[in-house]
Amino acid sequence: MTMRVSGLRQCMTPKKSRSWNIVTTVILVIMHCSPIAFGVFLFGLVSTIVFASDPEPTTDFVLPRGVDSAILDGNYFTSTILRNDTMGSGPYSTTTQVSVENFPALQGLGISMSLARYSPGAVVRPQIHPRATELLYVLEGTLDVGFIDSTNKLFRQTLQTGDLWLVPQGMVHFLSNLNDTSEARAVAAFTRSNPGYIDVAASIFGSNERISKQVLSKSFKVYESVIQTLFEAQEQEPISSSVRASP
């Protein structure tokens, strides 16, 4: 074993050549001297790429520029946003999002959450969180939920109080309150400090520049007049992420 390591070290001393890229040279030398060493190197390289999207923290926490950690106290790590959960209210439900945008202490920690109230019969239309997986916990009520994977398979469930529901990152999902007389409440945790939010319908029919009616009519297999009606409805009242379910 000692002779093998010594030989490898000797082989890993190539002649300097300005015409060679350093990284390429190292890879070729390792491949020539030791297939096992190359395998270890390749595994390390792949691992670095895989985990690059969510690196391990190198400090206890991340501070905004210009903030001195010496003057911080417990207030920096405390948020009172959920004392009044009416932020971002829609016509039939309210959602309070707690992310790095309104709670800076979350920066770099890969976590955020939201608290939602759903009025009787309310619907949260198809949406996407492009940067995070969601874990929903039902505090009160009954919710009909579902998400669609990349093969167009629907995973649907009826949740009761105390149930948990997982939505993988980037999946189109929806939610509705099945009870016509009582509200429902839920709290959601996300695996990023800013999970992102895309309302599917609003993105298609309410973008700053319209997608052509010809494209949409062929995509949805409907007449262009139907697409025009949807455009006009969006102009009259911007589509909210939470709307009341139709009877």
32 annotated as belonging to a binding site for a ligand = no
Query: CA 88 to CA 86: how far, in whole Å?
Result: 6
Count the Cβ atoms, other than its own, within 10 Å of residue 44. 10
Q: Does 235 count as an annotated binding residue?
A: no
- Nearby residues of 115 by Cβ (< 8 Å), 6 or more positions away: 82, 85, 95, 96, 98, 185, 186, 187
Q: How many CB atoms lie within 10 A of CB 182?
A: 13
CB-CB neighbours of 160 under 10 Å: 10
183 in a labelled binding site: no
Task: Detail the residues annotated as belonging to a binding site for oxalate.
Answer: 129, 134
Task: Detail the residues annotated as belonging to a binding site for Mn(2+).
Answer: 129, 134, 173
Task: Detail the residues annotated as belonging to a binding site.
Answer: 129, 134, 173
